[in-house]
């Protein structure tokens, strides 16, 4: 019986079963006169992301060939180096709307010219056996469309977080994966990062007793920008803004640290007037989530915060766990305090998270193993974000 309860709870936490879709976010996916088109276009060289001095060594035998779709900051800065470092996946092709950038990236990674695709000839990857999987690193509002195209081309898909902008899109992506009989994984890197993995383990083991409160914030000050130059402030591409992009790390942490789904939540949003950054998106969102055990999470996320935070603070009945930075690419810090005694924990190198995530995906593709961060988890989180926005829009607590 205990086993049944645990597996049912696990299922509910993994899938968010029972959460209703909120109409508000579906409206979010509609362009409100966005100056930046919601269709895939090429963009200039991203602000960050260095290319390797020399191409990576030949892929290991059995490694899965991956086409990276969109050569932006995260793709060049983290995804491609991760594929190069992975034992089970390798970069096999690039897809970009900017031919010059694509040629430069392909050359740096030792790809032949015929491994460069554009959004216009993307469908031709169907006949390219070097490509077994596609890694979608497009702006979020384009994830669903290109994931569906990748499945139609008969490829497996790794899709960046957040999975999409509405639960309806997520459901379509999962259906396309099932119809194609191919894997769908969401790029939730913290599930492969040593500090967050240790935090999950500590909470599961009751290291600080039953959790009473989680205080978590992911926020920073976004520089001057507007809808014609930055997709992150365009509703059709970014949804409500900081929650989908950054606050999602807080939301995920609340779930994987408590091991529970919230039973109720209430939220509030802010949108300063006459600020070109926040013409279409919210600047700030706060939410309070209550879990069946009685644990409460206070979540804050913002693009308009003078004080940058990447923080998770857990208070249990017998101690605390403090992480700051908690979910960054590297530099994580974690302090466990029990009975008044604090110890700094260093469970590993956060940098391994990217390649480990690719290894996990490659193994699932090759051996059919279960994916830890499947489309169902992405759907669960999008449903929760819809409930959060519905609570803010209606100014009331939502029971889930
Ligand atoms: P960037 O703006 O740096 O890059 C996006 C790329 O998408 C562009 O360079 C362009 O590539 C392509 N693109 C196609 N159509 C458009 C369009 N209409 N507007 C803008 N770009 C377009 O974004 P990021 O790399 O920061 O983010 C991409 C995805 O990765 C998002 O879903 C984001 O949430 C996720 N991400 C995840 C992170 C993580 O830690 N897991 C960290 C950062 C981002 P091209 O020119 O090649 O066509």
| Catalytic-residue membership of 333 | no
Mean pLDDT by 10 residues, the chain (400 residues): 38 49 38 63 84 95 98 97 98 97 97 98 98 98 98 99 98 98 98 98 98 98 97 98 98 98 98 98 98 98 97 98 98 96 98 98 98 98 98 98
Task: Write the pLDDT tens digit of every residue in 350-373.
Answer: 999 999 999 999 999 999 999 999
Query: Active-site residue among 246, 249, 256, 389?
Result: 249
Write the residue with the smallest CA distance to atom 20 of ligand 1. Answer: 231
Contacts of 10 (CB under 8 A, 6+ apart): none
CA 139 – ligand 1 centroid, Å: 5
> What number of other Cβ atoms are within 10 A of residue 359's Cβ?
20
Could you give the C-alpha distances from 212 to 217, 323, 326, in angstroms and in order? 17, 16, 19
Q: What is the pTM of this model?
A: 0.94
Q: Give the number of C-alpha atoms closer than 13 A to the C-alpha of residue 359, restricted to the C-beta side.
A: 12
Write the residue with the smallest CA distance to atom 5 of ligand 1. Answer: 72
Closest ligand 1 atom to residue 162 Cα is 34
CA neighbor of 314 nearest in space, from 194, 197, 215:
215
CA distance 221 to 219: 7
| Catalytic-residue membership of 60 | no
Q: Which of 31, 36, 44, 74 to mutate to test the pocket of ligand 1 (most atoms within 8 A of CB)?
A: 74
Write the residue with the smallest CA distance to atom 15 of ligand 1. Answer: 40
CA neighbor of 134 nearest in space, from 96, 99, 163, 95:
95
Q: Give the number of C-alpha atoms closer than 13 A to the C-alpha of residue 293, restricted to the C-beta side.
A: 19
């Amino acid at each position: 019986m205990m086993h049944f309860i645990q597996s049912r709870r696990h299922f509910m936490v993994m899938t968010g079963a029972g959460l209703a879709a909120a109409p508000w976010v579906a409206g979010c996916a509609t362009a409100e006169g966005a100056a930046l088109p919601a269709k895939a276009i090429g963009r200039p060289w991203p602000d960050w992301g260095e290319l390797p001095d020399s191409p990576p060594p030949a892929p290991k035998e059995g490694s899965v060939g991956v086409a990276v779709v969109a050569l932006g900051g995260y793709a060049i800065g983290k995804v491609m180096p991760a594929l190069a470092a992975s034992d089970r996946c390798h970069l096999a092709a690039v897809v970009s709307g900017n031919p010059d950038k694509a040629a430069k990236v392909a050359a740096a990674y030792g790809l032949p010219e015929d491994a460069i695709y554009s959004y216009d000839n993307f469908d031709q990857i169907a006949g390219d056996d070097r490509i077994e999987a596609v890694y979608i690193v497009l702006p979020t509002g384009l994830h669903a469309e290109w994931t569906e195209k990748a499945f139609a081309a008969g490829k497996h898909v790794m899709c960046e977080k957040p999975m999409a902008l509405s639960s309806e899109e997520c459901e379509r992506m999962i259906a396309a994966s099932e119809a194609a009989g191919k894997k769908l994984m969401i790029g939730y890197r913290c599930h492969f990062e040593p500090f967050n993995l240790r935090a999950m383990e500590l909470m599961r083991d009751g290291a600080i007793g039953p959790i009473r409160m989680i205080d978590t914030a992911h926020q920073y000050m976004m520089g001057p920008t507007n809808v014609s130059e930055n997709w992150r402030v365009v509703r059709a591409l970014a949804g409500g803004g900081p929650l989908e992009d950054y606050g999602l790390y807080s939301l995920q942490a609340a779930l994987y640290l408590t091991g529970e789904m919230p039973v109720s939540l209430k939220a509030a949003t802010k949108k300063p007037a006459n600020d070109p950054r926040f013409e279409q998106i919210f600047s700030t969102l706060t939410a309070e989530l209550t879990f069946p055990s009685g644990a409460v999470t206070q979540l804050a996320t913002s693009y308009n915060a003078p004080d940058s935070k990447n923080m998770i603070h857990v208070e249990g009945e017998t101690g605390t766990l403090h992480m700051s930075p908690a979910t960054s690419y590297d530099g994580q810090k974690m302090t466990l305090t029990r009975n008044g005694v604090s110890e700094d924990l260093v469970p590993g190198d956060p940098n391994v998270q990217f390649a480990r995530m690719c290894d996990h995906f490659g193994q699932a593709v090759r051996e059919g193993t279960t994916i830890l961060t499947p489309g169902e988890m992405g759907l669960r989180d999008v449903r929760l974000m819809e409930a959060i926005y519905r609570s803010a829009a209606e100014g009331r607590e939502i029971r889930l």
